[in-house]
Amino acid sequence: MSDAQLRVALVQLEIAWEDPAKTFLRARPWLEHAKSAGARLAILPEMFATGFSMAAERIAEPEGGPIERWLGETARALDLWLVAGVAQRPSGDATGSLPVNAALVVSPSGAIAARYHKVHPFSFAREHEHYRGGDGVATAAIEGARVTPIVCYDLRFPELFRVAADSTDVFVVIANWPAARRAHWQTLLRARAIENQAWVLGVNRVGEGGGLAYAGDSMVVAPDGEVIASAAMTETALVVDCDCARVDFARASFPVLRDRRPDAYRTIR
């Protein structure tokens, strides 16, 4: 049970393709806007500094690398929690291991509060040939709210959300979701909120990169499926209050999660 009120800013950004320095300049004013609007958590898209590039050998950095350091320094300077995506080579990986498509949760002290590695590489774009999948979820406590980051294509796999539902108030889905499948993005964000009775915050990019167009459509969906706010096809920051008590109310007033039958699901044939 949580009565946390978390003000969040969904930063819908146009990413400079494989150019972190230029993207930092674009992102910083939006994060400053988030701070001035009273947000405590600001969210940037998947691979926010480079775009969804398959040039992993060029863009993936070690943990603690330049993009992660920029996030930590910015979080400290603005006294903000951040969630953002970055291509990384985890510490301790064997030589030759593929990097991961990571979502970092950064505290206002600049420390990493959680690292999530995208579980489902997007094989349609051959992501699995350049990045390996993670093997679990990660949840961080952010000022009383339980926040679970998810990355892009993971949105198509309800199992991932379900395994985290009991310990999550807010799912954060960061993405580079192409305009060609924007209807899927909009529908699946609402579906994940309805079926898990949790907040779902979808943060997508805009503009063009790697030959693809991105429509944005960032969205805040309440635990009952109500769309609280949504964006169009331009850079913007949606600032919204997420009341975690709505999660408790939804689950108590319509207790669908109590009727799950995981024992039966394993034997369906």
- Which residues 6+ apart lie within 8 Å of 113 measured at CB? 81, 105, 106, 107, 140, 141, 142
Displacement of CA 212 from its chain's centroid (Å): 20
Catalytic residue list contains 35: no
**Rounded to the nearest 5 degrees, what angle is found at the Cα of 46, between the Cα atoms of 44 and 49?**
70
Catalytic residue list contains 208: no
For residue 256, the SS3 value is: helix
Of residues 14, 61, 68, 152, which has the active-site annotation? Answer: 152
Catalytic residue list contains 244: no
- β-pair type (145-151, 140-142): antiparallel
Give me the helices (H) in the chain, please: 20-36, 56-59, 66-78, 158-165, 182-196, 245-253, 262-265
Q: Which of 40, 48, 61 minimizes the C-alpha distance to 235?
A: 48
Token reading at 170: 């807010």
Of residues 46, 61, 68, 127, which has the active-site annotation? Answer: 46
Distance CA 235, CA 40 (A): 20
DSSP labels for 56-98?
A: HHHH-EETT-HHHHHHHHHHHHHT-EEEEEEEEE-TTPPTT--
Phi first, then psi: give them for residue 31, nearest 5 degrees. -70, -35
Of residues 68, 118, 127, 242, which has the active-site annotation? Answer: 118
Displacement of CA 186 from its chain's centroid (Å): 15
Helix axes 20-36, 66-78, angle to 10 degrees: 20
User: Which positions are annotated as active-site residues?
Assistant: 46, 118, 152
